[in-house]
Amino acid sequence: MPVAAGEFDVTMTPELMSVAASGFGLGRMVLDKRYHGALDATGNGEMLSFRGAAPDSAGYVAMERVEGVLDGLKGGFTIQHHGIMNRGAPALMVTVVPDSGSGDLTGLSGTLEIRIEEGRHYYAFDYALAPIA
């Protein structure tokens, strides 16, 4: 499978939660991203998060729509984030939602790895395109 890699910028803007959800510590953010490199695209989505009682324990889920160009192919796709921090030990899975690809990216599948170094965000996107039937 090809791997597209590069850097991205992200802005997270807090949003209000519903009355029911805000009572137990959930947080909600709007995500605005700009991917650079082999994935030249914008990403927009929403994230829900929760901080645990122990230090460095938390979880988040997010849905993000990505639109732009991936290795010369123009289109869009949706990714689903699932992250856990267990007392400082991180686990993150970011996966393309099946059948969410459009344009040249119809049939896209894959996983996206995110790493943060010295405040900068990087991605490595391991992907495949299924033949269109």
**What average pLDDT does this structure show over 48-64?**
94
Positive or negative: CA dihedral 30, 24, 115, 82: negative
Walk me through the domains of the chain, giving residue ranges and CATH numbers: 3-129 (2.40.350.10)
| Cβ atoms of residues 123 and 110 within 8 Å | no
Which tens digits make up the pLDDT trace of 69-102?
999 999 999 999 999 999 999 999 999 999 999 9
What pLDDT is attached to residue 75? 98
**What average pLDDT does this structure show over 7-14?**
97
